[in-house]
Amino acid sequence: MSSIAERIAQLRAEIDHHNYLYYVEAKPVISDREFDRLLDELTRLEAEHPELVTPDSPTQRVGGQPIAGFTPVIHRQPMLSIEKCNTAAELREFDASCRKVLGANACIEYVVEVKIDGVAVSLTYEQGKFTVGATRGDGKRGDDITHNLRTIKELPLVLRGPNPPRLLEVRGEVFMTRAELLRINELQRQRGEEPYANTRNLAAGTLKQLDPKVTASRRLRLYTYQVGAVEGIELTTHLQALDMLRQLGLPVNPHVTFCPTIEAVIACCEQWDSKRHELPFDTDGLVIKVNDLGQRQELGATNKHPRWARAFKFAAEQAITRLRDIEWSIGRQGELTPVAIFDPVQLADTTVTRASLHNTAILEQKDVRYGDMIVVEKKGEIIPYVVGPVVESRTGTETKIVPPTNCPVCGAPTVKYETNGSHQQRCTAGLACPGQIAGRLESFASRKNMDIEGLGETIAEQLVAAGLVKTLPDVYRLREEDLLKLDKMGKKKAQNLLASIEASKSRGLDKLLSGLTIPFLGETFSPVIARKYGSIDKLLAASVEEIASIPGFGPTRAAALHSFLHSPGGQKMIEEFRALGLKLTYDAPSGSEPGAGGGTALAGKTIVVTGKLKNYTRSQIHALIAQHGGIAANSVTKKTDFVLAGEGNETRGKLDKAKASNIPIITEEDFEQLLKPAPNGALA
């Protein structure tokens, strides 16, 4: 047994060494095949001797069974956010603010690091072994994601060197390269599913997977950039700390520049503004830090930000091009969306030729005209966006853009309508318009609604074009021979899609209502109405006035729902769903009863979300609000209980309106605190 244990220890050391050379040093010395042989031998020996398996073995990187949920982790040192700036003048103000504390003639040196657009994490090593990994959370406590972080090959499970610190808390950024996003999105398209929008959101969602095997399949990366709590070693500068992390085998952000003065910092920022697109990952700025750790201690921190750091945000890259045409796309509720078509321009290292103008109101507001020279930028370096026309370039030949009076897909008349204070043009054909049924089908099958895996945009369009789906219930009448007629649809793929369609029958009333694209309902209010009535029959028996009395509904939303349910088309669709075996009742999520620790923390509260949140997409936060009994509304009214404000929204109209009406404004951290159990087991 001792010889086997020694061989296992030797294999682990060799594999860890080669992982370090490959992922951290980028200097592999053996082939992939040789590496696989070592790992296969270790896997075999551990399978034969399970009593010798340890948590820090390389075989444990792709954990075992999915976990039940996330447990909170308290950070030994808070993970504070960093105050932002955008100009050289603001950087000089930062330097001046440091000198007010340290002295006008103090020698202040800085370190500039590329700010990776990923997910901040905290890694804890005890006696040299990786024990806990957590998300940033509210800065004081995060979620335990150790099972997922173990899947990242760069992350050492055991620190290198003979004398690692007794305790080491390391801050890092988990991210995904653009190449990996392309690979995953190609697989999504092959499965007929929606591609992911950007690397950051996918990385964040991947770290919140309960199954580490899913995480491992997505090839996340890691760079460390900061030391938190540490015991057993003295550090004096930030650069010294980074060097220590490298020696311990941790992957350190390689894009670090030492700057002896603030003017050197400004020059460095200007250089990176032009070369940032050469990086294989997304970045939205730089982080500037005081190098001397003693000076940092003197400068201290506010409740939210360290006074010794700034995040310099790059300006959105812009280009001027000529508008050539406007295309009108048809949404799932018949809304016509103008899409600008323009001469190709390079933005954020990609060629852009089109950008949505969102609705006719924005089109009129910007006064964009045919033939205009227009300013285009990428908001957040992801979404192409038309800033507006270059008015001084007009020659007088430009012409107004008029919304079509007939639907460009089916030819039916269009009408103007208003919603949330904005007007839009809509096709009047309803589900008779192929453009609408394809959009409705894609939405119906999406993850947030009926979750029919494999029925994405491409398959939806093919099903409608082939005449196989004319109404939503037709989805449940599809046969294998029907699907095999579609482009790139093999037998196995068709069988998987049919199995997913069958499984979707049990999703429940809330998901079905959300998937029907009823005006003013959607994923936010569908759980509210489903929870209230419990079954489609009880909902059908409710009057408009009764529905309107539900918090957050009101007469407009109630009338739209009641009208749909009692229209000939709506009634026919519901009866078809019933006959096809779909579940038309609602089961409350586990733990949603009063006192069960979830589901009622926000009961009856109307919440407006604005700005960019750190830990949630808009659909995720809306779903969480609904799960806890609240209502996520779009507009601030006298019925609003509070506004949940994310980043970048200090001048937004919703906040101004909330302040004027004395409506409380809470942060993401405040919101999460509302959902946490109080010491007596009730919700805080």
DSSP string, 635-663: S--TT--EEEE-BS-TT-HHHHHHHHTT-
Among 666, 597, 658, 661, residue whose Cα is nearest residue 629: 597
Structure tokens belonging to residue 641: 């209980």
Phi, psi of 650 (to 5 degrees): -60, -30
Cβ contacts of 14 within 8 Å, gap of 6 or more: 38
Residue 158 C-beta-side C-alpha neighbours within 13 Å: 17
What span, in angstroms and rounded, lies between the C-alpha atoms of 431 and 450?
A: 19
DSSP string, 527-580: HHHHHHH-BHHHHHT--HHHHHTSTTTHHHHHHHHHHHHHSHHHHHHHHHHHHT
Active site residue 505: no
| 3-state DSSP assignment of residue 123 | strand
243/149 Cα distance (integer angstroms): 22
Query: Are residues 282 and 196 in contact, defined by beta-carbon separation less than 8 angstroms?
Result: no
What is the DSSP code string of 143-186? EB-HHHHTT-TTS-SB-SSSS--SEEEEEEEEE--HHHHHHHHH
Q: Please tell me which residue in 27, 84, 115, 532 is annotated as part of the active site.
A: 115
Handedness of CA 141, 145, 146, 149 (dihedral sign): negative
**Residue 646 · residue 611 · CB < 8 Å:** yes
Burial zone of 479 (CB within 10 Å; 0-12 exposed, 13-18 middle, 19+ buried) = exposed
Residue 562: both structure tokens together: 């009641």
Strand order in the sheet with 318-330: 350-356, 336-347, 318-330, 373-379, 383-389
Look at residues 40, 22, 95 and name the one whose alpha carbon lies nearest to residue 299.
Answer: 95
Residues 6 or more apart whose Cβ sits within 8 Å of residue 626: 523, 524, 525, 526, 527, 528, 632
Task: Assess contact for 347 and 319: CB atoms under 8 A.
Answer: yes
Identity of the residue numbered 29 = V
Instruction: Report the C-alpha gap between 537 and 584 in whole angstroms.
Output: 8
455-464 long-range contacts (CB < 8 A, ≥24 apart) are: 455/192, 455/497, 455/500, 455/501, 456/188, 456/189, 456/191, 456/192, 456/193, 456/194, 457/192, 457/194, 458/189, 458/192, 459/192, 459/486, 459/489, 459/497, 462/486, 462/487, 464/434, 464/437, 464/438
Does residue 338 contact residue 328 with C-beta atoms inside 8 Å?
yes
Do the beta carbons of residue 60 and residue 8 sit within 8 Å? Answer: no
Strand, coil or helix: 48: helix
List, by residue number, the catalytic residues. Answer: 115
